[in-house]
Amino acid sequence: MRYLILAALVLSVPLLGIAQQTRGGSNSGSKLFTYPYTIDDLPNGLRLITVPTDYPNLVALYTVVAVGSRNEVEAGKSGFAHFFEHMMFRGSENYTPEQREEIFKRAGAETNAYTTDDRTVYHATFSKEDLEEIMKAEADRFQRLKYTPEQFKTEAKAVKGEYDKNSANPFSKMNEVMRETAFKRHTYSHTTMGYLKDIEDMPNQYDYSLEFFKRFYRPEYTTIVVVGDVTRQRALDLTKRYWGSWQRGTYKADIPDEPEQKESRTAHIPWDAPTLPHLAVAFRAPKFSDTSKELAALDLFQSVAFGENSELYQQLVLKEQKVDVLAADFGHQADPELFTVYARVKDPAQVGYVREQILKTFERHKTELIDQAKLDATRSRMRYGFAMGMNSNNAIAGALAPYIALERTPETLNRLFDTYQTVTAADVRDAARKYFRDESRTIVTLATKGQNIAALGRTVEGQN
């Protein structure tokens, strides 16, 4: 989870055809984040969020595209959101890859990108004097990306290499199989990397790649975030100059709803190489909402029940030393997702025991109330962790990006943290009862091929 609290007072003022909102400032009370920020909407649907800070001379520029593997609805076309993250570094009409790289190198910029289920984020941190030149280069590739079929095929091979590297990690394979098992219709059924058969076919999809760019790299999907030693007027002037003529698109992916899961599901992965057994226990969970007590309760439960201070972690990792990895994964996503607990077990004979201890933890919290002091301490650690983490322009922009992709406003973080403050122990118990049901459960195990493990209430043997 990523947490950011931004103080908020809202003003809406029309300015030159651009809707402006101003928030934050010195009167932000007990909010952890006291920097003011502004939101400006261009007529083409592009949104600019400017956050002036006290960190001198540097600027972080994040371009957040609300497109990820969730939007890949066509059969045979999974993985294209991630693939386009690669292609966006291949040059544009006015800049070759080498020219672009030289601009960023000359500016001493740190630049990269990443893709998730719900977003693709391009980011750079550099001296404020270079903002215009870098903004101009970024605008060119977002509006006028240009690459040859040969460049396309070369990058497709690089993506295949990345897939092969990730597939050598048991946790990556667990995530892939978990999604395929838990989701039957929704596009969360495939990972951000995509299905192997689709990745292998990417070199043949040059024409489709142009269509993907035309569909999704549009201003209505995009939010520019500028954080650092910058004024709103400077950021807005440059955005209007270089991004204002970008044309709005019309495409919207028809993402299928996932039907209710009505039976528990299991899967086992026979691993070719020697490895410790892995176990994942997942339940269907809600989509992100900054005002949902259920989501906030599950966030708190994740830390209380499976964090490093939890009773289960102390038992399995420290005292009994039966596992060397125990972690819960519950992100904030656009559609209903999974609440998953991962464990790596030291002894194959103990997989069944570890599984039962994890399930007992879920069951116990359906009836028992979390101690109020523990709940309050968890909230306090979340706030403190946020405050300590926001130590640079890049850190601020990076924390904003996931929520910008979801709601296009930092204000959602204020609402989310306010919701945490209202959650009671009874709310956590009620959320556990609602979501941690046997019929909505999926369990995946992984072990060296041919190795027997007691994992699912019965012995599972790796298949040859």
Q: Which sequence spans correspond to the domains of the chain?
A: 20-25+35-243, 265-448
First to last CA, the chain: 38
pLDDT value for 167: 87
What would the pLDDT profile of 65-111 be if each residue is shown by its tens digit? 999 999 999 999 999 999 999 999 999 999 999 999 999 999 999 89
141: left (phi over 0), alpha (psi -120 to 50) or beta: alpha
What would the pLDDT profile of 221-252 be if each residue is shown by its tens digit? 999 999 999 999 999 999 999 999 999 999 99
pLDDT value for 415: 86
8 A C-beta contact, residue 82 and residue 159: yes
The rounded distance, in Å, linking the Cα atoms of 388 and 399 is: 12
Share of the chain above pLDDT 90, in %: 83
pLDDT value for 462: 41
Asked if 20-25+35-243 and 265-448 have one fold, the answer is yes
CA-closest candidate to residue 217, choices 255, 248, 254: 248
Say whether pLDDT at 43 is over 50. Answer: yes
**DSSP-derived secondary structure letter, 314:** I
CA-closest candidate to residue 395, choices 115, 1, 62: 62
Residue range 265-448 forms a domain whose CATH class is: alpha beta
Radius of gyration of the chain (CA): 23
> What are the tokens at 215?
């569909």
Say whether pLDDT at 267 is over 90. Answer: yes
The rounded distance, in Å, linking the Cα atoms of 243 and 236 is: 10
Say whether pLDDT at 5 is over 80. Answer: no
pLDDT value for 413: 84
Q: Which of 28-37, 128-137, 263-272, 335-344 has the lowest mean pLDDT?
A: 28-37
Q: How far is CA 32 from CA 3, 23, 27, 49, 131, in A?
A: 10, 14, 12, 19, 28
Q: How confident is the model at residue 418 (pLDDT cuts 50, 70, 90)?
A: confident
What would the pLDDT profile of 110-158 be if each residue is shown by its tens digit? 899 999 999 999 999 999 999 999 999 999 999 999 999 999 999 999 9
Which CATH architecture group holds 20-25+35-243?
Answer: 2-Layer Sandwich (3.30)
What would the pLDDT profile of 97-109 be if each residue is shown by its tens digit? 999 999 999 999 9
Other beta carbons within 10 Å of 49: 25
Q: How many residues in the chain? A: 464
pLDDT value for 18: 54
Give the chain's mean pLDDT. 90
- DSSP H or E run through 37: strand 37-41
Q: Which of 25-34, 72-81, 191-200, 373-382 has the lowest mean pLDDT?
A: 25-34
Average pLDDT, stretch 44-57?
96
Q: How confident is the model at residue 325 (pLDDT cuts 50, 70, 90)?
A: very high
pLDDT value for 429: 98
Share of the chain above pLDDT 70, in %: 90
The rounded distance, in Å, linking the Cα atoms of 219 and 200 is: 31
Q: How confident is the model at residue 35 (pLDDT cuts 50, 70, 90)?
A: confident
Q: How confident is the model at residue 385 (pLDDT cuts 50, 70, 90)?
A: confident
Model-wide pTM > 0.75? yes
**DSSP-derived secondary structure letter, 145:** B
pLDDT value for 1: 36
pLDDT value for 411: 87
